[in-house]
Structure 1
Amino acid sequence: MPPLFKQPNFVHFWIGQIASSFAFQMLSVGIGWQMYDLTNSPMALGLVGLCQFLPQLLLTLIVGHVADRYNRRLICVCTRFTMAMTVGILAYGNMTESISANMIYLCAALLGTARAFEMPANQAILPNLIPNELLSRAVSAIASAREISVIAGPALGGLIYLIGPTTLYLSSMSCFLVSCVIMFFLHYNFTVKSKSPISMDHLFGGLRFIRGNKVILGSVSLDMFAVLLGGATALLPIVAKDILHTEAWGLGLLRCSPAVGALLMSIYLARRPLTHSVGKIMFAAVAVFGVATILFGLSENLLLSMIALVLLGSSDMISVVIRSTLVQLETPDDMRGRVSAANSVFIGSSNQLGEFESGVTAAWFGVVPAIIVGGVGTIAVVGLWMYLFPNLLKRDSLEQQTP
């Protein structure tokens, strides 16, 4: 089996992922901190997540069809250029002192629309760049690249924000443009395997496939509901400012802490891929995610909060690698765009919609109770899903299994 990083197309793709993820992670610090500065409202932070998620939800059927019918590389190029221009609007708003909460909401919606088209195309490319036997390692390596940027991006973003939000947004825009150029020169030949007329049956193919595969349905829905309830990243600006009494640099440290745990775990999984009892391991990892969320909610110390977030990130990475590998290995190539689009809705629900849920519950009950209740809810979901999806619990290997 050839080493993963001797695959030139994969290395090219991997570098592009780092640049794009780095841009987005720096941007998340700027948007979160500036929105809270402008509004001092937990609800406003939640609405930013909702603005990013709604386009993803509404465009699910369309973006999956586009990813299966058109060149996935060019889709990624166009969407990343769109994200660069959107961040440029935020930079312009700060330079002209016309930035407002409504402008941030609008740009969040534009970013959500671009990411809706990018995510299924980006995910569907990977299996065409490497042999199947390297896919699990490749998913871990891609995750490592993402987590490297998640570690460096927020920390650096917090420091750059001290210079000014304009500088931060221009830095993020530059990284998106670099990623756009890298993807433009990726060697990737895309052929349409099916030219059948567009129909509702074709558009709903991805959702139907997931519904019919109980292992995939169980894994993606487990991740969605667990992170939807237990995710507290939208509240980090409030935790940093009002509970831990730190500045933007502290927010950067908190944001990068989950990535430290995820990076360490992804490096481990790239070197030692999971081979047995993957179902049980996935459930255990999500349960640990819930426990770490509760610990984070109870903490009033920056170091302890960072430790809890490191544990949270490492356990989440295990779930991500298992889910992503299962989806890619068991989906035919001519359906990967539609299945990845449907999977993106699950991911978006657990992230952007989870941010909205966290903002709403924090506004209703307070920040600390919202985080703790979310962690308890995650553990409850694990128990329920073990009962509802016994095939996932019993799943031993990541490799395709015939019924």
Structure 2
Amino acid sequence: MTETPAPSSPLTIRDFRYFLLARFFANWGTLSMVVILGYQLYETARGPVYGMSIRDASFYLGLLGLAQFVPLLMLAPVTGWTADRFERRTIVRIANGVDLIIALALTFFTWSGTLTLPSLFALAALHGAARGFIGPASSSITPNIVSAEQLPRAIAMSTIAWQAAAISGPAVAGYLYASHPTSAYVFSSVSLIVSILALTPIRRVVPPPMARDRHPLRQMLDGLTYVRGHRFLLGAITLDLFAVLLGGATALLPVYARDILHVGPQGLGELRTATAAGAAIVALWFAFNPLKDNVGVKMLFAVAGFGGATILFGISTWMPLSALALALLGACDMFSVYVRSSLVQLHTPDAMRGRVSAVSGVAISASNELGEVQSGVAAALLGPVGAIVVGGAAAVAIAAGWAYLFPEIRRARTFAPPPQIQETVA
């Protein structure tokens, strides 16, 4: 009997192609929606109704991140358990449906001129809850439709889809918003509908059955217990957590676009595009040239580079230099994300992937959304430039500190999981 040859590329797998399509359109819709929502919040806070100063409005941008993070954190045990208990494709479609409702609500509020700060915060919180369910289920689908050998390349290709959406989505939404504010959210709504439809042809992805002798609450906490018991995973996840938490500049981009670089909503989309372009170039490289050696050390250097690029962006007042700094920032961040994502997926048994991905997702969201809070508070105290420069320096220090606190990261030569996990990751 002739054996079927292994796929030469993840792109030869039909389900993976549909997954990439769904991921692209989902992120095209949600990233565009979140970027415009942030700009509208800052513009509303600075407008005649609220009349806030730059520092006060920057602080509210930070609170927007907190509004998205709190529901994600509270739901994390449930979202990870759900991804390991129920059909994963269906979970993603339902959560994308919630984001579609949010986009339609923003369309109506913008069209009717009834946007308020409370309504923006409420919709941002609902989006945070939806993201909590999307992350663990979506990240657990890929290892079930490609082989372990193809997984690093599949992760790079999946990231290309994400970054392609991040490059084009906010830029398109920025121009649409400048021409007619409502059209930006119509764009997001249509994108989310396409994403939901693209997930339909993918075969059902049902996780392995859970042990029936353990209480569901204990099962929900198993992901956290697993990460705590594996210093390598703990170090990789917390490295990204603290570096981006302290060094993130994304939350203050509306401040730079409106009041420092004076480029408006179009410029805001271009700044977001620059970050995504740098990340996409690195992801495209890894899709065809997978990283093979010294993966841990290279991840540490990438995090340090992320901090240096953040400092450069913070001190720049020239749009081309600012865009270049953000492109470098995105490239370094993508390098780190690629290594961490591959290591986490390959070092986690399939039955635990949803719950471990939920822990990783909380860390990523904490670094992003709580990073926005940190940026807002720091900007209120130090001004936006001081906040970003100090944060970038902190990210460099984190990379150096983690190299000594977690020698397991420095010693990671390849993506190969330990023998006891190799038997269970397939």
Q: TM-score, normalised by structure 1?
A: 0.98
Match of 2:61 among 45, 60, 76: 45
1:25 aligned to 2:31? yes
Match of 1:257 among 274, 278, 287: 274
1:313 aligned to 2:330? yes
Aligned partner of 1:91 in structure 2 is 107
Structure 1 residue 195: deviation in Å?
A: 4.5
Question: Deviations for 1:250-298, whole angstroms, at most 9, x for unmatched residues?
Answer: 1111011111110100011111111110011000000000000000001
Structure 1 runs (4+) deviating above 4 angstroms are: none
User: Residues of 1 paired with 2:329 and 2:357: CA distance?
Assistant: 25
Aligned partner of 1:183 in structure 2 is 199
Alpha carbons 1:70, 1:192 under 8 Å: kept = no
- What is the one-letter code of the residue matched to 2:143? P
User: Residues of 2 paired with 1:191 and 1:121: CA distance?
Assistant: 10
Where does 1:346-357 land on structure 2 (aligned, <5 Å)? Answer: 346-357=363-374
Structure 1 residue 200: deviation in Å?
A: 3.5
User: Residues of 1 paired with 2:384 and 2:9: CA distance?
Assistant: 46
Task: Give aligned pairs, total.
Answer: 403
Alpha carbons 1:129, 1:188 under 8 Å: kept = no
Alpha carbons 1:135, 1:325 under 8 Å: kept = yes
Aligned partner of 2:53 in structure 1 is none
Structure 1 residue 199: deviation in Å?
A: 3.9
User: Residues of 2 paired with 1:150 and 1:109: CA distance?
Assistant: 21
Aligned partner of 1:146 in structure 2 is 162
> Partner of 1:250: helix, strand, or coil?
helix
Aligned partner of 2:148 in structure 1 is 132
Aligned partner of 1:34 in structure 2 is 40
Match of 1:227 among 238, 241, 244: 244
User: Residues of 1 paired with 2:226 and 2:393: CA distance?
Assistant: 31
Structure 1 residue 165: deviation in Å?
A: 2.2
User: Residues of 1 paired with 2:261 and 2:102: CA distance?
Assistant: 32
Aligned partner of 2:51 in structure 1 is none
Match of 2:209 among 193, 210, 218: 193
User: Residues of 2 paired with 1:152 and 1:200: CA distance?
Assistant: 41
Aligned partner of 1:322 in structure 2 is 339
User: Residues of 1 paired with 2:211 and 2:296: CA distance?
Assistant: 37
Alpha carbons 2:282, 2:331 under 8 Å: kept = yes
1:285 aligned to 2:302? yes
Aligned partner of 1:342 in structure 2 is 359
The runs of 5 or more residues in structure 2 that have no matched partner are: 1-5, 47-56, 421-426
- What is the one-letter code of the residue matched to 2:17? V
Aligned partner of 1:236 in structure 2 is 253
User: Residues of 2 paired with 1:174 and 1:352: CA distance?
Assistant: 26
User: Residues of 2 paired with 1:379 and 1:55: CA distance?
Assistant: 30
Question: Deviations for 1:332-390, whole angstroms, at most 9, x for unmatched residues?
Answer: 11111111111100000111111111111101110000000000100111111111100
Root mean square deviation of aligned Cα: 1.2
User: Residues of 2 paired with 1:318 and 1:188: CA distance?
Assistant: 31
Structure 1 residue 191: deviation in Å?
A: 4.6
User: Residues of 1 paired with 2:263 and 2:169: CA distance?
Assistant: 18
Match of 1:12 among 2, 13, 18: 18
User: Residues of 1 paired with 2:218 and 2:22: CA distance?
Assistant: 34
- What is the one-letter code of the residue matched to 2:245? L
Question: Deviations for 1:84-140, whole angstroms, at most 9, x for unmatched residues?
Answer: 011111111122221111100000011011111111011111100011100000000
User: Residues of 1 paired with 2:138 and 2:259: CA distance?
Assistant: 38
Q: TM-score, normalised by structure 2?
A: 0.93
- What is the one-letter code of the residue matched to 2:63? L
Aligned partner of 2:72 in structure 1 is 56
Structure 1 residue 212: deviation in Å?
A: 1.1
User: Residues of 1 paired with 2:347 and 2:341: CA distance?
Assistant: 10
> Partner of 2:402: helix, strand, or coil?
helix
> Partner of 2:209: helix, strand, or coil?
coil
User: Residues of 2 paired with 1:74 and 1:298: CA distance?
Assistant: 45
Match of 2:120 among 104, 113, 125: 104
User: Residues of 2 paired with 1:151 and 1:194: CA distance?
Assistant: 39
Alpha carbons 2:84, 2:207 under 8 Å: kept = no
1:121 aligned to 2:127? no
Aligned partner of 1:333 in structure 2 is 350
1:213 aligned to 2:213? no
Aligned partner of 1:81 in structure 2 is 97
Aligned partner of 2:220 in structure 1 is 203
